[in-house]
Amino acid sequence: MLKANEIALGRLMAADPVLVDVKPAHEVLEGLTPTTFLHAGPPIAFQDMCPPMQGAVYCALLNEGIARDIDEARRMAADGTITYKPCHEFGAVGPMTGLTTWSMPLWVVEDRATGRRSYANISEGSGVGLRFGEYSQRTLDRLKWMREVAGPVFSQLLHEIGGMDLAPMMAQGLAMGDELHMRNHAGTALFVKNYAWLIARIAGPEAENVLKFIGVGNDQFFLNLAMAANKLAADLADGVPGSTLVTAIARNGVNFGIRISGLPGRWFTAPSPMVKGLYFPGFTEADANPDLGDSAIMEVGGFGGCSMITAPAIVKFLGAASVDVARETTEAMYSITLGEHPRYQIPALNFRGTPCGIDIMKVVETGVTPILNTAIASNRAGVGMVGAGMSTLPIDPFVEALKALAQELGI
Amino acid sequence: MENKLFEEKMSVINLGLPSFFESVKDQGAPCVHVDWRPPAGGDVRLIEILDRLRELG
């Protein structure tokens, strides 16, 4: 292994993520302004965004009180009022459209050793929501409730317990049948199991609503916490000169992009692939948006497709024919990763560590590319999730990243 | 020296094209196929980069 990759992988694996707070985005994201809107994936202009992301921008304009109605939101979204930036460039990640703006409450995850922080928004729960580009009054009301009620409850909870260690919860989630990208039933259940008693006291008359918000129709509640934890690990591993370790995979619904440790801040992009999977009744591939969301940070950290064999229960949900697909997917990911995570283990593989640290050298050499477990979003704003499946990434950005690093190193 | 190769029973390891493996197998010779492909799809520039990076360590 390259020395640079030993260093980068060591930092990735040494991350010790602790959930310490929930704060409004403007209090924690350096450089954020009221008119800076963050989105999933690599950089993109408003007019090039997919319909769900444009819908999410309208929703955010209304939610922040910048636009008074949808007509004004449509105009302001495109007239230069708003600056659009990737979440990743602010230390944050967001599932699906990933829209993150000034007042939104964010999970704050801190590395115990270095104090470095990362951020993710809070899963909105059942129904469609901002993340799928819905801008209904129901969505706006829920965002307000999350900002004014749920966020402060979670913040007080975290203060009272002195922070929540996420690594043991993620490890236990794997052991309980999550792969932590498309299956977070266990992680979410652990959150409720461990802290319902305290939420009941802190939230008072809102306790029923807060517990219902987490526990009913919000199976991916834990995903956002795990995403922030993996963003933290990836950012800790970023910026090692000469390293070929992948530190970001993200999709904006039009393009997907990767970043590598040895070339911090640079995106290498290609068109987002269509996701192969299973569609909900009434939907077909004609309804699907190309791959979308920052949640591929889970595969960067060795979860999701990398750890698919931990979650045989989701194989059919993702449209795969048999559990063999899960086993083969995890085995393929071992062929393009640098190590096996000592803290995150796969019981079905005799507690072998998860395949961790995607290496562009191995991807280019073998032709095997990362496989993401993912939701399939509708290609229309406000419709929501239309299916789930597996997304095999095209190789071109990995090749381009390798060539760029070679140029940087004078090879 | 006389070449005995084609007078003896052959055991074959096939690399590359599967059709060669099928042909040998059809003739009843023991044969295994190795699913091998050139690294980096055979792209000379990419192979050079991979080699140089490994040399640099």
Residue in B50, B52, B56 nearest the CB of A364: B50
> For chain A, which residues score pLDDT lower than 50?
none
Dump pLDDT digits (tens) for A209-266. 999 999 999 999 999 999 999 999 999 999 999 999 999 999 999 999 999 999 999 9
For A181-212, the DSSP string reads SS--HHHHHHHHHHHHHHHHHHHGGGHHHHHH
- Binning chain A into helix, strand and coil, the percentages to the nearest 5 are 45, 20, 30
The residue type at A7: I
Residues B29-46: what's their mean pLDDT?
90
Token output for A359: 């290496």
Chain B residues with beta carbon closer than 8 angstroms to that of A361: 50, 53
> Is A2 an 8 Å CB contact of chain B?
yes
> Is A367 an 8 Å CB contact of chain B?
yes
- In the three-class reduction of DSSP (H, G, I as helix; E, B as strand; rest coil), residue B30 is classed as coil
Residue in B40, B54, B57 nearest the CB of A364: B40
Q: Which chain B residue shows the shortest CA-CA distance from A365? A: B40
pLDDT grade for B24, boundaries at 50, 70 and 90? confident
Residue in B45, B53, B57 nearest the CB of A361: B53
The residue type at A275: V
Half-sphere exposure of A389 (CA within 13 A, CB side): 24
Whether the predicted pLDDT of B2 surpasses 70: no
pLDDT of res. B57 = 86
Write out the H or E segment, with its range, that includes residue A15.
none
Q: Which residues contact A191 (CB under 8 A, 6 or more apart)?
A: A169, A214, A221, A222, A225
Residue in B45, B46, B57 nearest the CB of A2: B57
CB contact under 8 A, B57 and A402: no
pLDDT grade for B1, boundaries at 50, 70 and 90? low
pTM: 0.94
pLDDT of res. A202 = 98
E strands, A254-384, in order: 255-260, 268-271, 276-279, 292-293, 337-346, 352-358, 371-377
CB contact under 8 A, B48 and A411: yes
pLDDT of res. A127 = 83
CB contact under 8 A, B56 and A409: yes
Place of tokens 């052959």: B10
Token output for A226: 């795990």
> Is A396 an 8 Å CB contact of chain B?
no
Dump pLDDT digits (tens) for A23-32. 999 999 999 9
Whether the predicted pLDDT of B5 surpasses 80: no
The interface predicted TM-score (ipTM) is 0.90
Interface of A with B in 189-248 (CB under 8 A): 242, 244
- In the three-class reduction of DSSP (H, G, I as helix; E, B as strand; rest coil), residue A150 is classed as helix
In sequence order, the β-bridge partners of residue A390 are A276, A373
Chain A residues with beta carbon closer than 8 angstroms to that of B49: 402-403, 406, 411
Place of tokens 């910026």: A239
